[in-house]
Amino acid sequence: MTTVMIVDDSPTMLMSIKSVLTKAGMAVETAKDGQEALDRIKGGLKPNLVISDVNMPRLDGIGFVREARKAGLRFTPILMLTTESEATKRAEAKAAGATGWLVKPVQPDALLNVIRQVVPGA
Amino acid sequence: MPDTTHDVPAADVSALLRHAEQVLAVLAGQLRQVVATTEEAAVSILTQVQAADAGTEGVDRVARALQDRAPREAAELSDGVRTLEAATTAVLAATQFQDVTRQGVDGVLAALADVAGGLRAAADHLDGTGTGELPRPDDALQALQRGYVSAAQRRVHAEVVGAGRVEEAQPAVVELF
């Protein structure tokens, strides 16, 4: 079973995306900011995919990607899911090691399509 | 420090500034309350959606079990489940707007705090208790601009400050690097 970690400080987003993925048969882990996500990865969690917000307290999404790449998630796809659409932010995320960029609100079908592209067999 | 400003006592101007600061604090509190209420509502809706999803799974199982004995009824049940699933999927997408709105309001709250700080500093100077430098007139606008998290916020800003309509290319909703 594909395990996805969702990182977002919004309870609404966590619940909404978790419902979409659970309905699609995926296991879901959640973290409320980049620091909590990083701590869980350092603690041994190995998701098949991470979906992370960008603007979060403590550790933002781009900082999280940078740290996660050093902390063992070297090849795991990390998708950014954010309200931010600015090209410079996208470039920053790409340089940090993000796999892709999705702008909120994302349609469930579009999200699942992207997931199946980056995690074959999901 | 001037005693008067265009014949209005500095103390009166200072009192007005402090009053405006208080109004901004109240507005910020109201906005926070609105955000909290919309978040509670969205979470409540999502909880109901999860319950509905769990219910449709049960109905779907019944439909499959009935397929051989009552195929027409089973098909009707399945159609009903698909319709309900499509509706709940649409709700899942729609509730994301709560977070989009919350982030916009967070930016407004930060800006209100900046403006309130500027008013307080101005009032302190008029009262003769100001210690630091007054913020520059455009500080709050620039801070506002730096805090934007969406193209929509930048577009509204440009329109309001007179920079005209920003015709930026519609960014891709999904981009794989």
A122 occurs within a structural domain = no
Is B31 in CB contact (< 8 Å) with chain A?
Answer: no
- pLDDT for the residue A69: 95
Q: Residue B100 is inside which H or E element, if any?
A: helix B96-127
The model's confidence at residue A98, banded by pLDDT at 50, 70 and 90, is very high
A63 occurs within a structural domain = yes
A83 occurs within a structural domain = yes
A75 occurs within a structural domain = yes
A31 occurs within a structural domain = no
For residue A15, is pLDDT > 60? yes
- pLDDT for the residue B2: 55
In chain A, the number of structural domains is 1
Residues of chain A contacting residue B175, judged by C-beta atoms under 8 Å apart:
90, 100-102
> Which strands sit side by side in the sheet containing A78-82, from one edge to the other?
A27-31, A3-7, A49-52, A78-82, A100-103, B174-176
For residue B77, is pLDDT > 70? yes
pLDDT in tens, B94-144: 999 999 889 889 888 988 998 999 999 999 999 989 887 888 888 888 888
Q: The domain that contains A51 carries what CATH number?
A: 3.40.50.2300
Chain B nearest-CA distance from A45, in A, is 24
Is A35 in CB contact (< 8 Å) with chain B?
Answer: no
Determine the structural domain holding residue A94 and report its residue range. Answer: 36-111
A28 occurs within a structural domain = no
pLDDT in tens, B38-75: 999 999 999 999 898 888 888 888 888 998 889 998 99
For residue B163, is pLDDT > 80? no
Interface predicted TM-score of the whole assembly (ipTM), two decimals: 0.83
A6 occurs within a structural domain = no
A120 occurs within a structural domain = no
pLDDT in tens, B3-17: 555 678 889 999 999
Mean pLDDT of chain B: 86
Is A110 in CB contact (< 8 Å) with chain B?
Answer: yes
